[in-house]
């Protein structure tokens, strides 16, 4: 049960939050009338809110500790986590999957073009997340410059279309290949680096690509970008804007399914096992005869390929690219998706991408507080579920015996 | 089988191994003993290619292997059990063992070798579905040795298998090292700080001091040697 001490702590927490949010929530300066409105009622709300939140989280904690103690004493069975129970029980996840598939297939018919457009963006981030998941989640190489490959893909389409008139479908694989090449290019100098050092170099790489695009005017048209990029074609049929958005939506759905299929196969393959091993212990990896160089480079290249292809789709969707779309913040968001979803977990990454991209959109009702709420969700998530939404369930492969 | 000729290995500018000459014959157990920082692990790392030597030659069955990448060296049949075990903590015991057979494609033979290591260490069979990180130190060492055996090496490089283990477990592991050598005819290169035990198991021994080989002889002769007794056996 909650003790007297908990109430005391809750008071301190409430006071702390009241002080912390004081400038933001209470003071409102109106520079035109030159008056300050003091919104003291907001302070009361913050105080009461944080007081109750603290008590609720504390009660939950006590409940959980008590349960853990009972499990340790053998009075209660240990329950499998909810996500795992769902994912390992076909009679639960099959209907869920079917409902999800139906929802996504019917989406453009049910909702407006605006909603469809947002969903396309979210699906693009699903693919980006799955791509980065190979590098960060599976192979354990912290890459903070992932957006560079995204930029390579987008500019590949923009430039090849501008200069050579190449179409979307031709450039899609080229964009992927180019990004893979850049992945290997980045891979070589960082082969010997790990952890923080690797993160810094990849961060630098991302910035280099962005700065080149921004400053090499003759090549990339600088900050003004490249416009009038054609949308994806469909056997030369003319489409209205609405139609082409719907088309792009289904194309993206196909892309997501393709990515899930390939990434899943990769993770359970020989190279996937080598990646897992590399993440766990490099020396042991070498002692087992795993080619460290090739394993790392394939991780970078295969991760980058997806970013390149999504880049092409991005350019086709917005019909305009400029370097401002490829800032570090993008890399950070994609990394957030991977970490929040659960490193190495495909289902988790998909859910996280949808949540992270859709949440800020639907939080627009909260207008200026939406990023605040978004940040709070991230913090709360990492405090209570550091392993991600769906902790990675690796397919345990068995060696045939006898 | 394995021959080191004037091998020198550096970490940056620091020379850890100085002009080492060493021979390992087919089917024997040889041991390299020495104090902390004498260069024992570095010698092993040079052979396995993880820290390639700067000068000198390493020949395996008459073929030079210095300068080859570690994975090529493993493919030739030299497998290392790294110091401090280095098992994969999040993979299960069975998956750890499977990683050992990473380069092999003969599934039937792999399955047979798996049976063999399970017969050597029955505890691993019991724990095959547990993550490697949950095993005790001794069990992890058993797993590390088993994992290396799964590569079916001709030459097994063992780096301090006794590190951090209880005397009883150490003795058990050394017993099995001998058994592997006998039954599989695997040549074993054993690096040890526990000189007494190592010399009991080995056929021949080398003594390493500050990167140089100062003595080499039959293992029983080394055990009887006054200098070795004073310096390493504590007699």
User: How far is the alpha carbon of B220 from chain A, nearest alpha carbon, in Å?
Assistant: 31
Q: Which residues of B touch A398 (CB under 8 A)?
A: 94
With pLDDT > 90 as the criterion, what percentage of chain A qualifies?
33
Asked if A20 and A12 count as a contact pair (C-beta separation under 8 A), the reply is: no
8 Å CB contact of B114 and A277: no
Instruction: Average the pLDDT over each of A256-270, A374-388, B12-26 and give the range with the smallest value.
Output: A374-388
The domain at A111-384 falls in which architecture? Orthogonal Bundle (1.10)
State the best of B92, B95, B103, B159 to mutate against chain A, taking most chain A CBs within 10 Å: B95
For residue A393, the model assigns a pLDDT of 57
Strand partners, B63: B60
List, for residues B139-188, the tens digit of each pLDDT value: 999 999 999 999 999 999 999 998 888 999 999 999 999 999 999 899 99
- Give me the residue spans of the domains in chain B: 2-233
Tokens 């505890």 found at? B123
8 Å CB contact of A397 and B98: yes
Name residues whose C-beta falls within 8 Å of residue A140's C-beta, 6 or more positions apart in sequence.
A275, A278, A279, A280
The DSSP line for A184-251 is HHHHTTTTT--HHHHHHHHHHHHHHHHHHHHH-HHHH-GGG-EE-PPPPPSTT----HHHHHHHHHHH
Strand partners, B190: B31, B158
Distance separating alpha carbons of residues B52 and A277, to the nearest angstrom = 22
Interface confidence, given as ipTM, is 0.84
Q: Nearest to residue B200, comparing CAs of B21, B79, B67, B33?
A: B33
For residue B105, the model assigns a pLDDT of 87
8 Å CB contact of A280 and B48: no
8 Å CB contact of B97 and A399: yes
What b/e readout covers A217-245, taking b as 16+ CB neighbours within 10 angstroms? eeebbeeebbeebebbeeeeeeeeeeebb
List, for residues A307-332, the tens digit of each pLDDT value: 999 999 999 999 999 999 999 888 98
Q: Which residues of B touch A400 (CB under 8 A)?
A: 107, 111
For residue B143, the model assigns a pLDDT of 94
Asked if A193 and A201 count as a contact pair (C-beta separation under 8 A), the reply is: yes
For residue A400, the model assigns a pLDDT of 47
For residue A270, the model assigns a pLDDT of 87
Asked if B35 and B219 count as a contact pair (C-beta separation under 8 A), the reply is: no
List, for residues A147-197, the tens digit of each pLDDT value: 999 999 999 999 999 999 888 899 999 999 999 999 999 888 888 887 788
Whether the per-residue pLDDT at A231 is higher than 60: the answer is: yes
- What is the mean pLDDT of the segment spanning A201-222? 91
**B231 close to A (CB below 8 A):** no
Encoding tokens for residue B4? 């080191």
Q: Which residues of A touch B89 (CB under 8 A)?
A: 280-281
8 Å CB contact of B79 and A293: no
Domain B2-233 sits in CATH 3.40.50.300: yes
Closest partner residue to A284 (CB to CB) among B75, B86, B95 is B86
**B94 close to A (CB below 8 A):** yes
Encoding tokens for residue A106? 């019917």
């Amino acid at each position: 049960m909650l003790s007297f001490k908990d109430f005391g702590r809750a008071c301190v927490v409430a006071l702390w939050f009241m002080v912390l949010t004081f400038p933001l929530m209470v003071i409102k300066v109106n520079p035109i009338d030159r008056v300050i409105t003091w919104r003291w009622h907001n302070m009361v709300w913050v105080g009461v809110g944080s007081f109750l939140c603290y008590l609720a989280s504390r009660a939950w904690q006590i409940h959980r500790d008590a349960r853990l103690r009972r499990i340790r004493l053998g009075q209660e069975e240990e329950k499998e986590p909810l996500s795992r129970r769902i994912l390992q029980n076909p009679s639960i996840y099959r209907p869920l999957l079917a409902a999800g598939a139906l929802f996504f297939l019917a989406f453009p018919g049910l909702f407006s073009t605006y909603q469809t457009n947002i969903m396309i963006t979210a699906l693009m981030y699903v693919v980006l997340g799955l791509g980065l998941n190979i590098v960060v989640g599976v192979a354990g190489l912290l890459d903070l410059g992932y957006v560079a490959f995204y930029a390579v893909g987008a500019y590949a389409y923009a430039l090849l279309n501008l200069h050579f008139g190449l179409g979307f479908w031709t450039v899609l694989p080229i964009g992927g290949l180019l990004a893979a090449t850049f992945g290997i290019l980045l891979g070589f100098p960082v082969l010997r680096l790990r952890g923080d050092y690797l993160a810094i170099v990849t961060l630098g790489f991302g910035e280099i690509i962005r700065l080149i695009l921004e400053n090499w005017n003759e090549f990339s048209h600088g900050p003004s970008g490249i416009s009038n990029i054609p949308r994806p074609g469909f056997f030369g049929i003319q489409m209205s804007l609405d139609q082409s958005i719907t088309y792009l939506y289904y194309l993206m759905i196909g892309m997501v399914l393709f990515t899930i299929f390939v990434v899943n196969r990769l993770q359970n393959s020989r190279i996937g096992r080598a990646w897992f091993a590399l993440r766990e212990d490099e020396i042991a990896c070498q002692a087992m005869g795993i080619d460290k160089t090739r394993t790392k480079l394939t991780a970078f290249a295969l991760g980058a390929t997806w970013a390149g292809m999504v880049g092409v789709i991005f350019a086709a969707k917005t019909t305009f690219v400029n370097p401002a779309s490829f800032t570090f913040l993008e890399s950070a968001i994609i990394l957030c998706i991977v970490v929040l979803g659960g490193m190495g977990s495909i289902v988790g990454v998909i859910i996280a991408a949808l949540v992270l991209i859709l949440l800020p959109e639907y939080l627009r009702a909260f207008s200026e507080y939406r990023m605040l709420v978004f940040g709070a969700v991230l913090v709360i998530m990492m405090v209570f579920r550091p392993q991600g939404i769906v902790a990675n369930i690796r397919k345990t492969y068995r060696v045939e015996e006898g | 089988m394995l021959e080191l000729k004037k091998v020198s290995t550096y970490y940056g500018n620091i020379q850890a191994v100085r002009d080492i000459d060493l021979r390992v014959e087919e089917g024997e157990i040889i041991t390299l003993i020495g104090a902390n920082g004498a260069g024992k692990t570095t010698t092993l790392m040079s052979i396995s290619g993880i820290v390639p030597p700067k000068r000198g030659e390493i020949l395996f069955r008459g073929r030079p292997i210095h300068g080859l990448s570690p994975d090529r060296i493993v493919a030739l049949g030299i497998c290392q059990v790294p110091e401090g075990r280095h098992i994969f903590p999040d993979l299960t015991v069975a998956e750890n063992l499977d990683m050992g057979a990473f380069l092999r494609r003969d599934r039937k033979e792999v399955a047979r070798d798996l049976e063999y290591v399970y017969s050597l260490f029955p505890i691993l069979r019991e724990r095959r579905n547990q993550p490697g990180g949950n095993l005790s130190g001794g069990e992890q060492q058993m797993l590390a040795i088993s994992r290396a055996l799964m590569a079916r090496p001709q030459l097994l490089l063992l780096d301090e298998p006794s590190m951090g283990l209880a005397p009883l477990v150490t003795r058990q592991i050394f017993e099995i090292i001998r058994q592997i050598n006998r039954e599989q005819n695997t040549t074993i290169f054993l690096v040890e700080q526990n000189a007494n035990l190592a010399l009991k198991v080995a056929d021949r021994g080398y003594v390493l001091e500050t990167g140089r080989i100062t003595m080499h002889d039959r293992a029983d002769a080394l055990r009887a040697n006054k200098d070795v007794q004073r310096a390493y056996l504590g007699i």
